[in-house]
Amino acid sequence: GGGGEAIGVVQVLASDRTGFDRKDEETLLRLGGALSGAIEQRLSNERRMASMANFSREVSQRLVRTIGGSYSVADVALVLEHNVRQLTGCQDVNVLWIDRFRGEALMCRARREGEG
């Protein structure tokens, strides 16, 4: 196998609008589930770190298209945190703020058991 550490970065882009209601909670959960499914599929197909750059780009574009900039970035990041945690099994999930993109980057370090 390759390295014992898998690092993935998911960028979440959203507008300045922070309109979020409890009614949209199901929508967010559904969105997170669909996104996590895409992440899981991609990680299964390509486990190399080199592909993570293009992967994060694809995820952000897909996410922006789905959300349409109508949800709060913090709420979406929260859902993504949970999904990424379940997928990779990583304990450390950091949310970084990016001024340039007006969004947040979800960084996850996952340790593979059996290697190391």
Q: Is residue 47 part of a domain?
A: yes
Q: Is residue 116 part of a domain?
A: no
Q: Is residue 73 part of a domain?
A: yes
Q: Is residue 78 part of a domain?
A: yes
Q: Is residue 22 part of a domain?
A: yes
For residue 67, give the nearest of 18, 28, 99, 25 by alpha carbon.
28
Q: Is residue 42 part of a domain?
A: yes
Tell me what pLDDT residue 95 has: 44
Taking all residues of the chain, what is their mean pLDDT, rounded to a whole number? 48
What is the domain range of residue 41?
Answer: 5-111
For 7-45, the pLDDT digits (tens) are 333 333 333 334 434 444 455 455 555 555 555 555 555
What percent of the chain shows pLDDT beyond 90?
A: 0
Which pLDDT band holds residue 54 (cuts at 50, 70, 90)? low
Which pLDDT band holds residue 111 (cuts at 50, 70, 90)? very low
Structure tokens, 5: 């550490």
User: Phi/psi at 12 (nearest 5 deg)?
Assistant: -115, 115
| C-alpha–C-alpha distance, residues 55 and 23, integer Å | 30
Helix (H/G/I), strand (E/B), else coil: 91:
coil
| C-alpha–C-alpha distance, residues 112 and 114, integer Å | 6
Higher pLDDT, 79 or 97: 79
Number of domains comprising the chain? 1
Which strands, in side-by-side order, build the sheet including 92-98?
Answer: 5-13, 103-111, 92-98
Higher pLDDT, 8 or 82: 82
Tell me what pLDDT residue 57 has: 55
Q: Is residue 31 part of a domain?
A: yes
Kindly provide the residue ranges of all beta strands, DSSP E only, lying in 1-116, ordered along the sequence: 5-13, 92-98, 103-111
